[in-house]
Structure 1
Amino acid sequence: MLLFFLTCVLICAALIALAVAWQRLRRETAGLVQEKALYAGFVADVERRVAKGEIDESQGEEERTQAARALLKASEAGEATAALKPLHGYIALGAVAVLSVAVYLTVGHPDQPDQPYKRRLQTWTRLAQTNPDVLPPQAMAAVLRQGQKGHANDVTYWLFLGRIDMLAGNNYDGAKDYEKARALAPETFTAWSELGEALTFVGGGTSGAEAMQAFEKALQLNPNDARAHYYLGQQALADGQYAAARSHYTAALNSMAPDYVNRPQVQAALASIGPAEAAAKAMSDRISGMVTSLEAQLKADPENADGWARLLRSYDVLGDKRRRAEAQAAMTKHYAGRPEVIADILAKSQTRVGSEGESK
């Protein structure tokens, strides 16, 4: 027991030390910043859906009101926290620590059962009905998921659930929600677009073939879908297709309102194309010069196996399939009686071989 109380004392001291550091470095809470960003993005999305006729003006106004209420609550909470005086904060922190120990000794014994999930879900459901603004996305997603059977054929339900799941970080569940929305309304571009985004998040930020197909389908249904243009631009930039990336980013910006929350992100992506393109050209020029040197070396000394591997690899980097095929044919002809050397060169050509500027 003595060890337990000593541990509690140490925890209290650590909490007070953290409070001192917090008082010195107070900032606007990250939660409030996130709430503002979510509010701006949500309102912009509501306005876009009203403009597209997906919802009527009264529904849009109701959703904007709910979002404003949530932001106001977050702002009030942030102001209350910022107004806390240092001495009051330390006293309150100590009281919380002592109270926590007392509560733990009363109900927190390891032998006490955890609160059943069903009971927590019931509490969340009551809050969703009376004060939904206080529910975090994870809890709201759990509440909404109870209505799956009753809304099995409601595309709006699945789209909304997908958005909540994505906010909660449930990317895989969000993708499944959007797949159901897409199946119910295959001509709704947002179902395709948001599905592609969810699949990109599931892929760790990389748009795979299925996500790319979803974005392309979204653009077929709505050529002004900024989300689809942005992600297709990201993939084009990663593939070195700079003209295509520039075209997609520009189209995304043209589809966004001047004050849209994600506009700076797209502008930054567009601005990054120039430096990336210049770096790629410099690398291409460097490799082209190395290729010319390697070709001369191999003509003088065709027994340079590492030189052949570097040459083949260089053509792969340049994307010159024709000249690579010609070089591989010349190499195969030279080593016609030594298949093991050919196999070794082809294997080495798939990886970096020594210094690419090195000659043998």
Structure 2
Amino acid sequence: MLLLILTCLLICAALMALVWAWQRRRGVASGLTQEKALYTGFVADLERRQARGEIDDIQAQEERAQAARALLKASETQAAVAPVKPLYGYVALGVTAILSLAVYLMIGHPDQPDQPYKQRLQTWTRLAQTNPDVLPPLAMAAVLRQGQAGHANDVTYWLFLGRIDMLAGNNYAGAQDYEKARALSPGTFVAWSELGEALTFVGGGTSGPEAVQAFEKALQRDPNDARAHYYLGQQALAEGRYEAARGHYEAALKTMAPDDVSRPQVLEALNSIGQAEAAAKAMNARISGMVSGLEAQLKADPENADGWARLLRSYDVLGDTAAHDRARAAMQAHYANRPEVIADILTKAQTRVGSEGEAK
């Protein structure tokens, strides 16, 4: 009981310190003002790097556009916050602490130690046998894992455990469960889209090669697998393959019921394609214009090694492999007797946009 009281007092003291610190910061500029200051400083630094020749015009425009989009997003989400009197904050803190202590004393058991995990697991097991619907996924997963030894070769067991682990947020454990089920019955394994989803979650939302392969196998088994279509659409959208993404999203929607809870998410993804495609086209158009000017400069002055690197990198951004190969052949022909210059140009051409400033 004494420990509980001390903990409550420490929490109250910490909250009061936070309120005091917040009151001290009332004169600080708003979040939008800080974003504008950061943007101004970034643009100034960008112009200095551009003047020193550390980045070219294409890179400068790309970084400036990215910073402007970040500022625009901040301005759109900035909300006005009405000032609050300090007294209200202190009163609210006191009331919260008193009510919390009173509720705990009424319904809690401060005189008893915490229930050991083994005892809690026994309670969960009884609930799973009598009323499993009230058991949260995390507790259900713990109950099911008690049967690993007895069901080591049971495909159905591992599939069910995988679904429960995913519901509980145990993404890595869920992926392992599905992998075990697949290893036990590779010829009859059917949960390919579930395995792909688990691997995607483990990858932080990105479908790696293994996840993509799982989704593709899911579609080979069932062309109407909405889950596989959705994640393959997400991957295609991230890679700029807009028609492929649109096809996957539309295929997913055709197989979904009108009241499917995932339907709004797929619709939102489908509607985002147009905006992403328009932004990509606009950026490619700007880069294409800059590339035309750069090509003219290199024809007049082929000794511009940095210009060749920028040209090759620009073609990579545009995805124009044929033009990239032609420019590379022309550059190699010009520097045929200077292989060290060719190597330097190719290294610079592979440098990620904006990394020159980071390196310095």
Do the aligned partners of 1:233 and 1:244 also contact (CA within 8 Å) in 2?
yes
Do the aligned partners of 1:187 and 1:221 also contact (CA within 8 Å) in 2?
no
Matched, 1:95 2:102: yes
RMSD: 3.2
Alignment of 1:98-177 (within 5 A): 103=110, 106=111, 116-177=116-177
Aligned to 1:74: none
Residues 95 and 2 of structure 1, relative CA distance in 2, 3 Å threshold: closer
Distance in 2, Cα, partners of 1:344 & 1:315: 18
Matched, 1:229 2:229: yes
Alignment of 1:1-360 (within 5 A): 8-9=8-9, 11=11, 93-97=100-104, 103=110, 106=111, 116-186=116-186, 190-351=190-351
Higher relative contact order (CA 8 A, sep 6+): 2
Q: Calculate percent identity across the aligned residue pairs.
A: 78
Amino acid paired to 1:340: E
Do the aligned partners of 1:179 and 1:191 also contact (CA within 8 Å) in 2?
no
Provide the secondary structure at the position in 2 that maps to 1:272: helix
Distance in 2, Cα, partners of 1:91 & 1:205: 42
Do the aligned partners of 1:224 and 1:251 also contact (CA within 8 Å) in 2?
yes
TM-score (norm 2): 0.69
Provide the secondary structure at the position in 1 that maps to 2:191: helix
Q: CA deviation at 1:191?
A: 1.0
Q: CA deviation at 1:351?
A: 2.5
Paired positions, count? 277
Q: CA deviation at 1:347?
A: 1.5
TM-score (norm 1): 0.69
Residues 297 and 158 of structure 1, relative CA distance in 2, 3 Å threshold: same
Do the aligned partners of 2:181 and 2:189 also contact (CA within 8 Å) in 1?
no
Q: Which runs of 5+ in 2 are unaligned?
A: 17-94, 355-360
Do the aligned partners of 1:172 and 1:202 also contact (CA within 8 Å) in 2?
yes
Q: Which runs of 5+ in 1 are unaligned?
A: 17-87, 109-113, 355-360
Distance in 2, Cα, partners of 1:298 & 1:158: 62
Residues 4 and 115 of structure 1, relative CA distance in 2, 3 Å threshold: closer
Provide the secondary structure at the position in 1 that maps to 2:261: coil
Do the aligned partners of 1:306 and 1:353 also contact (CA within 8 Å) in 2?
no
Amino acid paired to 2:306: D
Aligned to 2:48: none
Distance in 2, Cα, partners of 1:3 & 1:222: 58
Q: CA deviation at 1:322?
A: 1.9
Do the aligned partners of 1:12 and 1:97 also contact (CA within 8 Å) in 2?
no
